[in-house]
Structure 1
Amino acid sequence: MRKMKRVVKVIFVVIVAVLMLLLIICINHQIHLKMEKELRLPLGQMVEVDGNNMSIYVEGTGDTTLVFMSGGGTCSPILDFKSLYSLLSNKYQIVVVEKFGYGFSDVVDKKRGIESILADTRAALKAAGIEAPYILCPHSMSGIEALYWAQQYPEEVLAIIGLDMVVPKSYQDYSINMTMLKLSQFASAIGITRLLPGVSDSDAIINGTLSNKEKEIYRAVFYNRTATITMLNEVKSIKENASKVESDNMPQIPMLLFVSNGDGTSWDKETWRSYQREYIANIANSKIIELDCPHYVHDYEYKAISESIIAFLLER
């Protein structure tokens, strides 16, 4: 009996200690969030969509509008794409739409069916006065949205420039680890991520051309926009969204796909590249460029990609 009481006491002490530690971590997180408030002031403009605020960034001028669309979980799309679009904004109008749950946009808990995601993006562009047609530049998961856009509103999409974007077949055998994602959400919400060295140093920070100030802003956004409920809802719906796109006709518009070596995706190099090769083989006026770099290609090969984009658009 005494031994059992001792065990119970130890367990109780451990639980209390863990709860106290989590409380201290959470308080520290809240203090830092307040300190970082000015760093999280929107870099672009905020527009109202469905009763909430969405962030949209515009740079440059020109008759051609390039709309950059972030991959799943990219906490700061505006800064993530900066190394690339800063090399293009002297020729084209650059637009970055930050979906709900990303960057400076509001976090909302609602279903993320492909129809809803696209409706939000189009509404944000309309509210900001950015008129179609567009050249869509999706990274990773946003490839599904871009293809759906071209299927549903072909008059609005002149071409697609894929930045290691996914195609519908990529998700046929894709396994989603929601438990791990929810753990990431919990760790981010209470501030455990602040204790992990280098976790906020994204490819954009390490390999891109961000200034020291922009790196500070990126980190501040990271600690406030990682594994949000909106992002998790998006991941939950991705297989169904991809299936809807796959069941429709392939959009026959010019496409330029930049494809990575698979590092940073859930697939090996050859499998990852085979998805894009097979998809684009059925589309006229298309081109694929394979790059020997990880998934966030625009943070590694931004100069080469910008030059290829300019050449591609000149050929149109």
Structure 2
Amino acid sequence: MIKIVLGLVSILIASTFYHQMCKKIEFRQNPPPGKMIEIGGDKMHIYGQGEGEFTIVFTSGGSGFAYGHFYEIFNALAENNRVVVYDRFGYGWSDTTSRPRTLEQINKDLYELLDKSGETGPYILVGHSIGGTEVLQFAQRYPEVVEGVVMLDAGSVSYHKEEPPSAVYPYLLSFARFTGLLRFDTFIVDKLNLSASESMFPRSEEVKELSMMMHYNRLCSRNSIKEINQLSKNKELENTLWDIPLLLLTANDNKLKEHNKEVNNLFMDDQKNLLEWSTNSKQRLINGNHMFLLNQPDVVTEEILDFLDNRVE
């Protein structure tokens, strides 16, 4: 038994060393495509393309890779609009920070980032999952620069208080990431073409490998875990967006309905409540799971374009 334990420990040490060495090489070979802007002593990554009357800002869900997750949507919308994608601290190419990971601080970080990078509003904010919760509060804190909000399968702070995330699972994933176990798991899932890989990574081969790299190098980073732990503790603001246009794209997930009906009902009730936050709101159900932005980017693109057209009538 002792030999087995020592053998496993040796494998774990070797895996950790190999992973950390590869991580340095991979980030050196894949520099950020955009600007690295100093915010509060640490650097954040922001990347923009296109020109237009409005600036569409994309933000990812928990531990997500914004550039990869929004790649196809980003490029399609950039043909006639200014589009921007950025990495929160601890995500993508951005540094890890010691600043609090409350929504209030995250909103301040984004506001300062947009200002220092030279991006100009008015902004159309597009957020997936907890990124949607982020942009919702950003619009409430800075309504003067926001022209519209699009939430992709995202809930309010109230929802996260009712349904707090797992307190253990993110730490297990963080351990797997640090030791390199996640690197091998990601490789196996992709090479065997398991169904899970379809919802984890973009369809486009141009960014699939980069997205995989970010997945096993930055999943459940220290900053993202702090964000998750803070979700149910964030300050709730007044339940209103006034007349700021709001679009809710909600996953119509039959598997979730079947296996966790209570959570599904709780989330759908929250979506109904969010529709009342704005005098100019609408909801569209998208057949599929939580990651429909990867599996159906064309559908999401069309919905956002329709939102832009109707909003400027």
TM-score by length of 2: 0.88
Q: How does 1:1-316 map to 2 (within 5 A)?
A: 10=1, 12-74=2-64, 76-196=65-185, 197-198=188-189, 201=197, 203=199, 205=201, 208-211=202-205, 213-241=206-234, 244-245=235-236, 247-252=237-242, 253-262=244-253, 268-316=263-311
The 2-side partners of 1:37 and 1:151 are apart by 36
Partner of 1:6: none
The 2-side partners of 1:39 and 1:264 are apart by 39
Structure with bigger gyration radius? 1
Alpha-carbon deviation of 1:137?
Answer: 0.6
The one-character-per-residue Cα deviations of 1:265-294 (angstroms, maximum 9, x if unpaired) are 986544432321222034211110001111
The 1-side partners of 2:109 and 2:220 are apart by 20
The one-character-per-residue Cα deviations of 1:112-149 (angstroms, maximum 9, x if unpaired) are 11221111111111111012221111111122222222
Give the partner amino acid of 1:189: F
Change in CA separation of 1:113 and 1:34 when aligned onto 2, cut-off 3 Å = closer
Q: Percent identity?
A: 28
- Two-structure CA RMSD over aligned residues (Å): 2.2
Give the partner amino acid of 2:175: F
Alpha-carbon deviation of 1:50?
Answer: 0.9
Alpha-carbon deviation of 1:313?
Answer: 1.4
Alpha-carbon deviation of 1:230?
Answer: 0.4
Alpha-carbon deviation of 1:238?
Answer: 0.7
The 2-side partners of 1:258 and 1:308 are apart by 8
The 2-side partners of 1:19 and 1:310 are apart by 53
SS of the residue corresponding to residue 37 of structure 1 reads helix
Give the partner amino acid of 2:199: D
2:62·2:228 contact (CA, 8 Å) conserved in 1?
yes
The 1-side partners of 2:263 and 2:292 are apart by 16
Give the partner amino acid of 1:274: D
How many corresponding residue pairs? 299
The one-character-per-residue Cα deviations of 1:10-43 (angstroms, maximum 9, x if unpaired) are 4x43432222111121122134224423443112
2:54·2:121 contact (CA, 8 Å) conserved in 1?
no
The 1-side partners of 2:145 and 2:24 are apart by 41
The 1-side partners of 2:277 and 2:213 are apart by 43
Structure 1 segments of 4+ aligned residues over 6 angstroms from their partners: 264-267
Give the partner amino acid of 1:259: T
